[in-house]
Amino acid sequence: MKHLAIIPGDGIGKEVIDVGMEVLDAVSEISSFDYDGELFDIGSERYLGTGELLTDEDISSLKKKDAIYFGAIGDPRVKPGILEQGILLKMRAVFDQYINLRPVTSWFPLVPLKREVPFDIHFLRENTEDFYMGAGGTFGGSRKNACVKVRREMYDLEMELKTKSSNNDDFAFEIGLLSRKGITRFADYAFNYAKSRGESDITLVDKANVCTHIYGLQRTIFEEKAEEYGMGLKFMFVDAMAMAMIVRPETFGTVAVPNLFGDILTDLGAQIQGGLGMGGSGNINPKGVSMFEPIHGSAPDIAGQKKANPIAAVLAAQMLLENQGYPEEGMMLHKSVRYCLDNGLTTPDLGGKLTTDEVGKAVCRYILNQKT
């Protein structure tokens, strides 16, 4: 019996997670997978009522779960950043979910690209470091040394900028930080992941021609790891990668990408595979509590209208099942999505006429029919 935390969150998060749970129920009817789901009221409503985001109590309850199934957060009544940082980013940090797995698969015939060549890119986005840490952090030696060094760099930068300007300018800057520990575990995960998919190399995306410090260190460690695993390593600058994803997506398999560039490239990836409604996302701590979510947001403009495409939530449930040791059941969900697309059983964003719930029912029907 798996113990799942269910966090529908805001907007269409509730509608698509309802479908996701029906789908998990259908899976449990026909397989050895079994679960209980505890609902957590985390999101904008509670925040607006009590001011609470992700509380210590939430965290200690979530810690006891096998995995978290998450809908979406975001509400036009709340200033941007508050819910994202206080809930989603905090969750990733507290549970140290250092890998963000985002598959980009061509769901033919949805692919908006002119070249109809199938592709299956698996993005592994580093999920805890880079420009997502807030300013400051630690590197080499003690925390104190790190802080002194950061301050010195800030001072030099400020002096340089001041001498260039006669005005009393304002300055703002953000620190992107990568640690040896963070890069090493990221690289280990990426090479093992590619190996498990039968691939002989991985691609590492960066901007090492500009941000030479952080991405230089990352390259060095990935090179060491490539040798250790006896695997190939290709480098791509992020701007070139954005182009390559459009002109030759079929040439990529496992792609490791730092946090901020990964955020951007995986939205591009969602579009080339058929839209945000088709992207599942796993925030993974291989030894801890992982969280699975559709990559889309709360879409307040269509919330409550039963128009939301639940497929991304179904694909997130697929990842959850695989992560929890049920790969065959996960594959069944993948095939159920194929079945819906092949039969035009889709929501309006994919040209269909069905509601969120009706797509859910079609997925469940497919699963129940797999009973042997």
The residues of the shown chain that bind ligand IPM, judged by CB under 6 A, are 84, 88-89, 263
By beta-carbon distance, which residue lies closest to Mg ion? 263
CB 232 within 8 A of CB 196: no
358 binds, among Mg ion, ligand IPM, none (CB under 5 to 8 A by kind): none
88 binds, among Mg ion, ligand IPM, none (CB under 5 to 8 A by kind): ligand IPM
Nearest by Cα to 345 from 356, 330, 334: 356
Report the nearest approach of ligand IPM to the CB of residue 263 (Å).
4
**How many CB atoms are closer than 10 A to CB 164?**
8
Nearest by Cα to 42 from 65, 61, 24, 22: 61
84 binds, among Mg ion, ligand IPM, none (CB under 5 to 8 A by kind): ligand IPM
Among residues 72 and 321, whose Cβ is nearest to Mg ion? 72
52 binds, among ligand IPM, Mg ion, none (CB under 5 to 8 A by kind): none
Residue 289, token pair as written in the block: 């509590």
357 binds, among Mg ion, ligand IPM, none (CB under 5 to 8 A by kind): none
Report the nearest approach of ligand IPM to the CB of residue 259 (Å).
8
Among residues 121 and 354, whose Cβ is nearest to ligand IPM? 121
Among residues 65 and 92, whose Cβ is nearest to Mg ion? 92
367 binds, among Mg ion, ligand IPM, none (CB under 5 to 8 A by kind): none
238 binds, among ligand IPM, Mg ion, none (CB under 5 to 8 A by kind): none
Residue with tokens 């919330």: 303
Q: How far is residue 149's CA from residue 177's CA, in Å, rounded to a whole number?
A: 13
Among residues 20 and 279, whose Cβ is nearest to Mg ion? 279
Among residues 254 and 266, whose Cβ is nearest to Mg ion? 266
Q: How far is residue 237's CA from residue 240's CA, in Å, rounded to a whole number?
A: 5
The H-or-E segment that residue 242 falls in is: helix 238-247
Among residues 13 and 352, whose Cβ is nearest to ligand IPM? 13
Report the nearest approach of Mg ion to the CB of residue 267 (Å).
5
181: left (phi over 0), alpha (psi -120 to 50) or beta: alpha
223 binds, among Mg ion, ligand IPM, none (CB under 5 to 8 A by kind): none
Report the nearest approach of ligand IPM to the CB of residue 54 (Å).
13
Report the nearest approach of ligand IPM to the CB of residue 67 (Å).
17
Q: Which of the residues 254 through 283 are near Mg ion (CB under 5 A)?
A: 263
Please provide the DSSP assignment of 22-66 as one string: HHHHHHHHHSS--EEEEE---SHHHHHHH--SS-HHHHHHHHTSS
CB 125 within 8 A of CB 282: no
Q: How far is residue 266's CA from residue 285's CA, in Å, rounded to a whole number?
A: 19
Among residues 102 and 225, whose Cβ is nearest to ligand IPM? 102
Does 293 interact with Mg ion (rule: CB under 5 A)?
no
Among residues 6 and 291, whose Cβ is nearest to ligand IPM? 291
Q: What are phi and psi of 283, to 5 degrees?
A: -100, 105
Q: Are strands 99-105 and 280-284 parallel, antiparallel or unpaired?
A: antiparallel
Sheet holding 290-294, edge to edge: 35-39, 2-9, 67-72, 290-294, 280-284, 99-105, 120-126, 254-257, 201-206, 232-237
By beta-carbon distance, which residue lies closest to ligand IPM? 84
For Mg ion, the binding residues (CB under 5 A) are: 263
